[in-house]
Amino acid sequence: MTTIDSSKHKKAKALKPGSVRPAKELCSECGLCDTYYIHYVKEACAFITQRIDELETSTHNRPRNLEDENELYFGVHQEMIAARKIQPIEGAQWTGIVSTIAIEMLNRGLVEGVVCVQNSKEDRFQPMPIIARTPEEILAAKVNKPTLSPNLSVLEQIEKSGMKRLLVIGVGCQIQALRAVEKKLGLEKLYVLGTPCVDNVTRAGLQKFLETTSRSPETVVSYEFMQDFRVHFKHEDGSEEKVPFFGLKTNVLKDIFAPSCMSCFDYVNSLADIVVGYMGAPFNWQWIVVRNDTGKEMLELVKDQLHTQPVMSKGDRKAAVQQGIEAYDKAVTLPMWVAKLMGVVIDKIGPQGLEYGKFSMDSHFTRNYLYVNRNHPEKLEDHVPEFAKRIVAQYKLPE
Ligand code: FAD
Ligand code: SF4
Ligand code: SF4
């Protein structure tokens, strides 16, 4: 185990905006290097030293059970459920379970602040991380900013504020770096509420995605790659636009995902106490993974505000994943009518619930494994966690 040096970090200097980060092109702009915690970057950066296995054990008090298929895929957990808010938060990404947990924690005095990400005044997709101290500030951070977001750039403010109890909301790469410096933050209690995350982009990449995929890029307020194999765009006027995955312009879009996200294997946010996403749940439900007792405590706070049901699993993903690997590698784009037809067929007979979650993970892990092998072969062995190696080994990959 790597031990982190005592608190000399305050003498370290944050990097200036725009300067090259230690992880170079693989940097996901998690924000750590915008603070004096850059002192720990070698041990903390998910792209310099991958430490999921070790940090999973120290965070959840046990390693992931690789022999249990659900743990192999979704990480250490005590419980998984499907859930929806009885009264959804308008304008949230899904029904607003993430914002609701954060608000309850603040209102009940469990935490003094919540690290979350609002958007800048000028641009609804430009992330602006903050430490929220009121429910209004948490609500103003609702909905995904589908771009790389420097959530950890507020870490210095935590130490300076003297806060002792904190909730951090974030995605996998941010949470790995956070867990690595957790003991240096001077907190009595840290709660971590994660979301899954995949295929993230820079702000410029997002613009290209919107322009090549949506009928009206300038009015999109949010979007999601849904379990019905379509991208659902929500527009300002409340209308919804659906574009089948298979009709996406793969040849144009191949380069838009950030190199960090093409090299990422922490789709399910392994080090959070609780994870709230959608991909392991039936269509239109959210999916909650409780990893440890702290996560359980967080879920209990909001259970009376949720409809819940057990998770389910249906279908067989394997053939679709294998075909997808080859189609993606050849950058095949189907004519729109074929894509729509395929979307409908797969929606009716394809993987659902946990099987859909595994479909998405298989597809992304195989793609990312190929990317690392082709672009950073020297990193492959150490960078890919054991669970991801086992998942990828189920498929035949092109050279
Ligand atoms: P809300 O109540 O709307 O709250 C959203 C919270 O997310 C806010 O607190 C905000 O601070 C935080 N946030 C927004 N953008 C970012 C960001 N860029 N980095 C860190 N934190 C952020 N779930 C899946 O199951 N499968 C996926 O493939 C998947 N991909 C995702 C990709 C991205 C880039 C992101 C940010 C999330 C993804 N999710 C995925 C999670 C899912 O889209 C929802 O965020 C989650 O279900 C919570 O919905 P909600 O309505 O409860 O959140
Ligand atoms: Fe620094 Fe984070 Fe970039 Fe790694 S990913 S180089 S820790 S800002
Ligand atoms: Fe970070 Fe991975 Fe999400 Fe990219 S896909 S922003 S590397 S968690």
Residue 195 Cα, ligand 1 centroid: separation in angstroms? 5
Is any ligand 3 atom within 6 A of the Cβ of residue 139? no
Residue 3's alpha-carbon distances to 181, 187, 270, 319, in angstroms, are: 11, 19, 20, 44
What is the predicted pLDDT for the residue at 334?
64
pLDDT in tens, the chain (399 residues): 444 445 788 889 999 888 999 999 999 999 999 999 999 999 999 999 999 999 999 999 999 999 999 999 999 999 999 999 999 999 999 999 999 999 999 999 999 999 999 999 999 899 999 999 999 999 999 999 999 999 999 999 998 999 999 999 999 999 999 999 999 999 999 999 999 999 999 888 999 999 999 999 999 999 998 888 889 999 999 999 999 887 788 777 778 899 999 999 999 999 999 999 999 999 899 999 999 999 999 999 999 999 999 999 999 999 888 988 887 777 766 666 666 666 666 777 788 999 999 999 999 999 999 999 999 999 999 999 999 999 999 999 987
What is the predicted pLDDT for the residue at 211?
93
Measured in degrees and rounded to the nearest 5, phi and psi for residue 79 equal -160, 145
What is the predicted pLDDT for the residue at 1?
46
Distance between CA atoms of residues 27 and 382, nearest Å: 17
Is any ligand 3 atom within 6 A of the Cβ of residue 261? yes
Distance between CA atoms of residues 311 and 132, nearest Å: 32
Structure letter (DSSP) for residue 144: -
Structure letter (DSSP) for residue 302: T
What is the predicted pLDDT for the residue at 22?
97
Is any ligand 2 atom within 6 A of the Cβ of residue 30? yes
CB of 5 closer than 8 Å to CB of 184: no
Is any ligand 3 atom within 6 A of the Cβ of residue 151? no
Give me the helices (H) in 110-182, please. Answer: 135-139, 155-161, 172-181
Distance between CA atoms of residues 336 and 317, nearest Å: 23
Tell me the helices (H) and strands (E) count for the chain, helix number first: 16, 13
Q: Which residues sit with their C-beta closer than 6 Å to ligand 1? A: 89, 92-99, 116-117, 127, 141-146, 149, 151, 169-171, 195-198, 200, 224-225, 276-279, 286
Distance between CA atoms of residues 192 and 272, nearest Å: 5
284 by DSSP, 3-state: which?
coil
Half-sphere exposure of 265 (CA within 13 A, CB side): 30
Q: Which of 21, 34, 36, 262 to mutate to test the pocket of ligand 2 (most atoms within 8 A of CB)?
A: 21
Measured in degrees and rounded to the nearest 5, phi and psi for residue 342 equal -60, -40
Give Cα 322 distance to the centre of its chain. Answer: 24
Is any ligand 2 atom within 6 A of the Cβ of residue 258? no
Distance between CA atoms of residues 237 and 347, nearest Å: 27
Distance between CA atoms of residues 3 and 16, nearest Å: 27
Nearest to 50 by CA among 355, 368, 393, 399: 368
Distance between CA atoms of residues 62 and 52, nearest Å: 12
Distance between CA atoms of residues 384 and 246, nearest Å: 27
Instruction: Please give the full DSSP string across 110-124, using - where no structure is assigned.
Output: S-SEEEEEEE-SS-T
Is any ligand 2 atom within 6 A of the Cβ of residue 306? no
Distance between CA atoms of residues 4 and 82, nearest Å: 38
Distance between CA atoms of residues 321 and 360, nearest Å: 8
Distance between CA atoms of residues 225 and 257, nearest Å: 14
Is any ligand 3 atom within 6 A of the Cβ of residue 28? yes
Is any ligand 2 atom within 6 A of the Cβ of residue 28? yes
Half-sphere exposure of 222 (CA within 13 A, CB side): 13
Residue 72 host element (H or E)? helix 69-74
Distance between CA atoms of residues 85 and 397, nearest Å: 41
